Homo-oligomer: A and B are copies of this chain.
Amino acid sequence: MSGQYRDYPKHLIRKLPRYYRYLNEQKQFGKEYISSNELASLMGISPSQVRQDFNRFLYNGYHGVGYNVSAILEQITELLDLKTKKNTIIIGAGNLGQSLSNYDELKNCGFEIKAFFDINPRLAGAVINGIKVCDMEWLEEYIKAENIVAAILALPTEGTSEIARKISEYGVTMFLNFNPVFFEFERDVFIENVHIDDNLMMLSYKGAHKGAGERDDEE
């Protein structure tokens, strides 16, 4: 948002959520300043790496003291645009959709759930976790009227890609997708796929190779 961004290497951006998590944890513990050494050893990376990364685009280090935890968190928040409110709908009011609707991180990242939509017309009118369920029929109208910019795709695989396309035409540009589906859009539409299958495969691998792996740096 504010001002122009230098173009940060995608590579560094990808690391930000991890930094965010650890710094946030430290903040909860009441830590105000943290040294590259401390943070690095918590995260299982090298102090050099922390300093390089922070220096490249986060500027709150103090010689002899460390980095200001809150200030860095602020900067990451700004960079990832987490403060901007993003009106969001969940497509699919089943178990997955419901469990996501009270997932705290949504709010922390600025995604505000405005409504469920479900193919089952009988659900229309219901209220789940304080969020109303709407009939698919109202998708277009609702998206436009309520300025919906993001959608969480929590419906069965089959319908997913068709509905995503439709929704994107109504103006939604951000998608969080839980289905193993491949789509591509021409315009400025962004998809994040949650690949639980990747996690499962890695877990299977790790389990089969006990002892083989040293420390894992993916926390």
Could you list which residues of chain A lie within 8 angstroms of chain B, going by C-beta atoms?
1, 5, 7, 10, 13-14, 16-18, 20-21, 25, 79-82, 84, 86, 94-96, 98-99, 103, 105-106, 108-111, 149-150, 173-176, 180, 182, 188, 190, 192-213, 216, 218-219
Q: Tell me the smallest distance from the CB of A161 to a CB of chain B, in Å.
A: 13
Q: Tell me the smallest distance from the CB of A127 to a CB of chain B, in Å.
A: 15
Tell me if B109 and A207 are in contact (CB < 8 A): no
Copies of this chain: 2
- A19 CA to B194 CA, complexed, in Å: 16
- Which chain B residues lie closer than 8 Å to A207 at the CB level? 81, 86, 149-150, 173-174, 190
- Which chain B residues lie closer than 8 Å to A79 at the CB level? 205
Residue of B nearest to A82 (CB): B204
- Which chain B residues lie closer than 8 Å to A173 at the CB level? 207, 210
* A197: contacting residue among B17, B84, B175, CB under 8 A: B17
Q: Tell me the smallest distance from the CB of A195 to a CB of chain B, in Å.
A: 7
- A99 CA to B94 CA, complexed, in Å: 8
Tell me if A200 and B192 are in contact (CB < 8 A): yes
Of the A-B pairs whose beta carbons lie under 8 Å apart in the complex, a sample of 14, sorted by A's number, is A5-B209, A10-B213, A13-B202, A14-B202, A18-B198, A20-B201, A80-B205, A95-B96, A105-B197, A109-B204, A110-B204, A173-B210, A190-B210, A194-B199
